[in-house]
Amino acid sequence: MAGLVGAVERPRAAVPLDDLDRRILRRLAADPRASQRQLARECQVSAPAVADRITRLERLGVIRGYTVTIDWASVGYPVLVYIPMIIAPGADLSTILTQLREIPELDELIVVTGAYDLMARFRLRDHAHLQELLLDALWAIEGIQRIETFLSLGEVPRGNIIEKLVGDPDAG
């Protein structure tokens, strides 16, 4: 879909990482609130060295932010719904994307390949909230040709992906 070209975030060139970069990334992924002093102790380098590395990783876009993991059920949004969408040919994609982004319950929106064009993830309160989302928000967006609804039965924890992708310099 040609209209999605400008809306999709483009991949950046890979940034060369050394063992210290990897250690810092692993520790921050495990605990984003870790202090630079604590990271320095764990990585066996000085706090200024850690500060310099973090600044560099932020500047290069490797570290894009710091976050907190929320237990959505405890704040009243226990229902996780995935909704793949097909966009009608010739539809105004910028308007569709704008309207989707305005839905407060939208947790993630990605462009996909295959039978669908977009995949959205929503955090909802209950079945009535899902019904409201479908009837009042999604089905009202002109240009969305077809959707499906997948209710999550639960998430399966799988550990820290960064250890698998950037390696563990502390292992062997």
CATH classification of the domain holding 33: 1.10.10.10
Output the pTM of the full model. 0.79
Displacement of CA 120 from its chain's centroid (Å): 11
Looking from the CA of 7 toward its CB, the CA atoms found within 13 Å total 19
- Picking from 23, 59, 26, the residue whose alpha carbon sits closest to that of residue 44 is 23
Task: Provide the domain limits for residue 102.
Answer: 72-151
Mean pLDDT of 45-68: 94
Residues 50 and 115 in one domain: no
Give pLDDT tens digits for 94-142.
999 999 999 999 999 999 999 999 999 999 999 999 999 999 999 999 9
Q: Are residues 106 and 57 in the same domain?
A: no
DSSP string, 13-77: PPPP--HHHHHHHHHHHH-TT--HHHHHHHHTS-HHHHHHHHHHHHHTTSS--------GGGGT-
81 phi, psi to nearest 5 deg: -125, 130
Residues 138 and 79 in one domain: yes
Residues 49 and 81 in one domain: no
Q: How many domains does the chain have?
A: 2
* Res. 52: pLDDT tops 60: yes
pLDDT band for position 63 (cuts 50, 70, 90): very high
Q: Would you state the pLDDT for residue 166?
A: 76
Higher pLDDT, 158 or 56: 56
Q: Is residue 78 part of a domain?
A: yes
How confident is the prediction for the chain on average, in pLDDT?
90
Using an 8 Å Cβ cutoff, are 81 and 121 in contact? Answer: yes
